[in-house]
Amino acid sequence: MNVIEHVRKPWRWVPELARVTKTNGLVITINPVSWNYHEAPVDCWRIYPEGMKSLYEDASLKVVLSLWESLETPHFRRHIPGVSRDIHSRKKRLAYDILGRFGFPVERSYDAITVGRKDGSIAPKPA
């Protein structure tokens, strides 16, 4: 699920996920779009929904959902992509808490969420 940024070759990894998934089973990935670099042991990719759709389709997965979203700061009206609130300094969090209430854009992190179904009627693409 939350690991694709640490996979060196996702174009090989996603087909393997599809291979080991049962027919009509789901493959779900959640990957950072705007999170900081976080080496553990490597941090290789930030993939937007269109890129995830491409990886899933090449692995013969039918894309059910692919979007980018954030669960942080839902109570503010305006947002800008950035890093997680947890990474901000205490002073910056306080400033966002105050200014966000007046309509100023608040920085938050985003993830790409993609769900694909392994459809038995789709033949795998040749490598």
Per-residue pLDDT of 102-111, as tens digits, reads 999 998 889 9
**What pLDDT score was predicted for residue 1?**
63
CB atoms within 10 A of CB 84: 16
* Cα dihedral: 122, 123, 124, 127 (round 10): -140
Question: Which residues make beta-bridge pairs with 39?
Answer: none
Full-model pTM: 0.79
* Over residues 94-104, mean pLDDT: 92
